[in-house]
Structure 1
Amino acid sequence: MSISEQLFERAKRVIPGGVNSPVRAFQAVGGNPRFIAHAEKEMITDVDGNTYIDYIGSWGPMILGHNHPAIKAAAMAAAEKGLSFGASCPAEVEMAELICEMVPSIELIRMVNSGTEAVMSALRVARGYTGKSKVIKFEGCYHGHSDGMLVKAGSGVMTSGVPDSAGVPEGCARDTLTAVYNDMESVRTLFSECPGEIAAVIIEPVAANMGVVAPKEGFLEELRQVCTEQGALLIFDEVITGFRLGFDGAQGYYGIEPDMTTFGKIIGAGMPVGAYGGRRDIMEMVAPVGNVYQAGTLSGNPVAMAAGLAQLHILKDHPEIYRNMNEMGEYFRNELRGIVSRSGAPCQVNGVGSLSCLFFTAEPVTDYRSAKTADVKAFGEYFRYLLSHGIYVAPSQFEAVFMSSVHTREDVDKTLSVIEDYWRK
């Protein structure tokens, strides 16, 4: 029995399912999870000494690769001064200033500890600001595990086949309305059925938790227009796309200005952190200025802020990182489409910038329904083959391949060679 298998057996005795996040469990792909001992640049090494080219990158935030020396040095220097103060620190001010400078739609921002907390807080502010209670989300978009958002959610909820979650009272989800991604008619219908009741529309501008599904041309623009017409706030959940598609995220990439934005661990270089921000008049609803309460002892944690600032300053000072990374993502997708075409496999290759996904379905994937046509058993076989040949992708059909700035052409070509061999075997 491998060391990973031994650890998993121990973990199952003291942790639900042996994991601290469901998608790590490998239930959707078969086999046992690998326990990681070390990561460096684009490579990770498990406790048994197996090394893999990593395309998860801690689910996106390791945009500069693992264990970047400048980020590590910044975090260690901050840790030497104290791990947590429960009080204000200079780094959180610098972080807020930097984000407000680089993301034009954000005038005020509040630090929190996760993407889930950021979304939960942003929705509370939207309801407080508008005086309305209902929120529109989209099928297959994942906005964390707060009660009201576990309605036709993506990410691990899709993987496990659970459309909603037990333990969520009916009343918590009653005001969550669900539209179809890339279908403006479904949005307009909800507004017409609930006139004057909708506080906000929240969306992943690039849906990256049901695989990767890009917005159709004009979809985000029309969504912006409808929200303005209806007096509802438009919230971009940029937990994945923020500071990944570009320094100003998907909103800069597509030229759409939301009213509010949520961020996740990428602003902490992978450490536990999140943030929500937006227009000044909206964010001034937040206590202690306004009467929308939200608090957190660890918010603006000095070590997380130091790590995140190191990463964001590198990205700001080197815009070519995005150009090179997005070009590598496009190269990967184009070559992968060629492999799929030659093999005759019923697959689709989706992606935007450095985010990609191979769907095991013959049907073009444009929304939750078409994503769910994917053959998850076939993906499991593909996943296990890649893993056995040193390629580590997410153990779920409905997650992204994350390219980092340190993935080389050699890495990508090796990965493509393994994928081509998979269909030749």
Structure 2
Amino acid sequence: MTTLSAAYFERAKELIPGGVNSPVRAFKSVGGNPVFIKSAKGAYLQDVDGNSYIDLIGSWGPMLFGQAHPAIEEAVRGALSNGFSFGAPTYNEVLIAEKIISMIPSVEKVRLVNSGTEATMAAIRLARAYTKRDKIIKMEGCYHGHGDSFLIAAGSGVATLGTPDSPGVTVSTARDTLTAVYNDLESLENLFKANPTEVAAIIVEPVVGNMGLVIPQEGYLEAVQKMCQQYGALLIFDEVMTGFRLSAAGYQGLAGIQPDLTTLGKIIGGGLPVGAYGGKAEIMDMIAPAGPVYQAGTLSGNPLATTAGLAMLNLITENPGVYAALEQRGSTLKEALSADLKTLGLNYTINQIGSMFTLFFTDKAVNNFSDAKTSDTALFGKYFKGMLDKGIYLPPSQYESWFLSAALGDSEYDQIISASKETLRSL
């Protein structure tokens, strides 16, 4: 019997490249066809065929309090009657800028955009203008959106396409993107030594979510910042994923590091499309119309997105204990899954920090992209399918982080652990 999801996917492939509007959704790296989602509430997704799933994606991070939180829904419903988009300033833009600046100490001024990709593209343009240098350094396996400069040894969905670099990225663009190994200071220092006056900025996910979850080793980020200062480069933290996900001040708040620029997304729209970049006022004042660096967007600061984002950030400040609670939940889940994996003698590594989590099917510690690529992706595909069949919706790629939400309760965690145990025994 053909499901509605299968029928919709066949129709989608006739109209949309690959049948999806973002590659990882195609399920290519895990096999099978994607599930089409109809609705979501709290801890659950429901597909068009009436199946219910415990949500461990959370729209790739922003749903810290679960899907369609009542406070955010109420705020958006209230804003709808005032209009959807103006292409003109609204006071909510001022309020959300004020909120972001109050929560992240390194951000003195902020510019709203429409996506994380827009934020990272604008941030490196700004860094190049400020330093009057051309080259940037990124880390192998870190994904900063689909801007040309970033599709060099990228992670996320790019990692599952079979080619690390996308056709259409010019040789000259690739030449200005230098790639170091995450958690490897020697590889970074070698790049600086070879290009001592040419590097405008390092852009890095302080905690990586796009090669699966990879956590910085002790002292790594501090040393990266020191190297930037030594060679006159800016430090850009890409916190599109980790911003407000791991603490109320982003991961930089936990690490006690203040980068020169920070990119944000996901959570600051409460699930609606939005992004932002911000940092030191001296740097940000180079952005037009205050300065010569051009960046614009008709939908930037969209009233619905800023309304949802303000509601989300207010939820965070009103519930400061959410991060400690999710850290405890994540740690408990890691222990439970580890016990089953160990009992069955399977090769595995679990990386977990706060509400971010990845199970790698490898016996290596995963500290960088090369380590992540030792994972048995075929085995992960079987694990994914087994979990999906049991009502647990994981990211459909080995190279993506899972996201826990405050909407998950004891019952849901029991179901996740039970489904994992049953799936692992069938592998």
TM-score (structure 2 length as normaliser): 0.99
| 1:21-76 CA distance string (max 9 Å, x none) | 00000111111100000100010000000000010011110111111111011112
Distance in 2 (CA, whole Å) between partners of 1:162 and 1:385 is: 28
Match of residue 413 from structure 2:
412
Deviation at 1:406, TM superposition (A): 0.8
Letter paired with 2:415: K
Deviation at 1:230, TM superposition (A): 1.1
| 1:181-216 CA distance string (max 9 Å, x none) | 000111110000001100000000001100000000
Distance in 1 (CA, whole Å) between partners of 2:372 and 2:43 is: 28
1:280 and 2:281 correspond: yes
Letter paired with 1:391: I
Match of residue 100 from structure 2:
99
Letter paired with 2:183: N
Distance in 2 (CA, whole Å) between partners of 1:333 and 1:292 is: 45
Match of residue 326 from structure 1:
327
In the TM superposition, 1:300-311 aligns within 5 A as 300-311=301-312
Give structure 1 stretches of 5+ with no counterpart.
none
CA contact (8 A) 1:328 1:409 kept: no
Distance in 2 (CA, whole Å) between partners of 1:83 and 1:321 is: 31
| 1:289-321 CA distance string (max 9 Å, x none) | 111000000000000000010011010111011
Distance in 2 (CA, whole Å) between partners of 1:14 and 1:163 is: 26
3-state SS in 2 of match to 1:81: coil
Match of residue 271 from structure 2:
270
Distance in 1 (CA, whole Å) between partners of 2:154 and 2:270 is: 25
1:248 and 2:243 correspond: no
3-state SS in 1 of match to 2:414: helix
Query: Which moved further from structure 2: 329-338 or 362-371?
Result: 329-338
Match of residue 137 from structure 1:
138
Distance in 2 (CA, whole Å) between partners of 1:60 and 1:2 is: 28
Deviation at 1:265, TM superposition (A): 1.7
Letter paired with 1:421: E
3-state SS in 1 of match to 2:81: helix
CA contact (8 A) 2:113 2:274 kept: yes
Letter paired with 1:318: N
Match of residue 422 from structure 2:
421
Deviation at 1:423, TM superposition (A): 2.4
Match of residue 347 from structure 1:
348
1:312 and 2:284 correspond: no
Distance in 1 (CA, whole Å) between partners of 2:260 and 2:18 is: 39
Distance in 1 (CA, whole Å) between partners of 2:407 and 2:97 is: 27
Deviation at 1:335, TM superposition (A): 1.5
Match of residue 205 from structure 1:
206
Match of residue 190 from structure 1:
191
Deviation at 1:325, TM superposition (A): 1.3
| 1:371-391 CA distance string (max 9 Å, x none) | 011111110000000000000
How many residue pairs get matched? 425
Match of residue 395 from structure 1:
396
Query: Which moved further from structure 2: 129-138 or 334-343?
Result: 334-343
| 1:269-306 CA distance string (max 9 Å, x none) | 11110000000101011011111000000000000000
Deviation at 1:6, TM superposition (A): 0.7
3-state SS in 1 of match to 2:350: strand
Match of residue 257 from structure 1:
258
Match of residue 120 from structure 2:
119
Letter paired with 1:171: S
Identity of counterpart residues, as a percentage? Answer: 53
Q: Structure 1 segments of 4 or more deviating over 4 A?
A: none
| 1:145-190 CA distance string (max 9 Å, x none) | 0001000001001122220101111112210000000001111100
Query: Which moved further from structure 2: 382-391 or 409-418?
Result: 409-418
3-state SS in 1 of match to 2:182: coil
Deviation at 1:414, TM superposition (A): 1.2
Distance in 2 (CA, whole Å) between partners of 1:253 and 1:59 is: 21
Match of residue 61 from structure 1:
62
Distance in 2 (CA, whole Å) between partners of 1:327 and 1:347 is: 21
CA contact (8 A) 2:383 2:424 kept: no
Query: Which moved further from structure 2: 329-338 or 119-128?
Result: 329-338
Match of residue 159 from structure 1:
160
Deviation at 1:364, TM superposition (A): 1.2
Distance in 2 (CA, whole Å) between partners of 1:264 and 1:314 is: 16
| 1:383-412 CA distance string (max 9 Å, x none) | 000000000001000111100111112211
Query: CA-atom RMSD, angstroms?
Result: 0.7
Distance in 1 (CA, whole Å) between partners of 2:226 and 2:410 is: 41
Distance in 2 (CA, whole Å) between partners of 1:409 and 1:205 is: 30
Letter paired with 1:247: A
Distance in 1 (CA, whole Å) between partners of 2:336 and 2:135 is: 44
Match of residue 20 from structure 2:
19
Deviation at 1:343, TM superposition (A): 1.2
Letter paired with 1:72: E
| 1:222-242 CA distance string (max 9 Å, x none) | 111111111110000001100
